[in-house]
Amino acid sequence: MGYGNLAKMAQQMHAEMARAEVELQALLVEGSTGGGAVRATVTGKLDLVSIAISPEVVDPEDVEMLQDLVTAAVGDALSQARKAGEERMARVTGGLRLPGM
C-alpha cells in the first residue's frame, strides 16, 4: 500500500468520523425508570436535553425517591447514548480502539 493510498484512506476515515460526530449530536436517546414515570433525553454526545416527570411520582414527603428516579433515568439515557456512540465509531474505525474516541 502506497503513501497516497494511505493518505486517501486517512482522509476518508476523517470524513466518516466527522459525519458520525454530526449524527451523534443529532441523535436523541431516551432513558426511563419507574415504568416510564421519569424520562431523560440526551444526545449522542451525552448532552442532557430534557427530563420529564409524571405528576403521580411527585410526593413532597418522599423527595429522595424522585431524586433516585431522576438519577436512574439520566444514567440509563447516558448509558444508551454511550453504547450508540461506540457502535457508530466502531463502524467508522472498523472496530479499532483509537485513543480519544
**Tell me: the pLDDT tens digits for 19-31?**
888 888 899 999 9
Phi, psi at 78, each rounded to 5°: -65, -40
Residue 65 has what pLDDT? Answer: 94
Contact by Cβ (8 Å): 41, 73? no
Q: Output the CA torsion 77→83→85→91 (10° steps).
A: -160
pLDDT at 93 over 90: no
Q: How confident is the model at residue 56 (pLDDT cuts 50, 70, 90)?
A: very high
Residue 100 has what pLDDT? Answer: 54
Contact by Cβ (8 Å): 30, 77? yes
Contact by Cβ (8 Å): 24, 43? yes
Place of cell 424520562: 39
Residue 14 has what pLDDT? Answer: 81
Place of cell 430534557: 50
pLDDT at 3 over 80: no
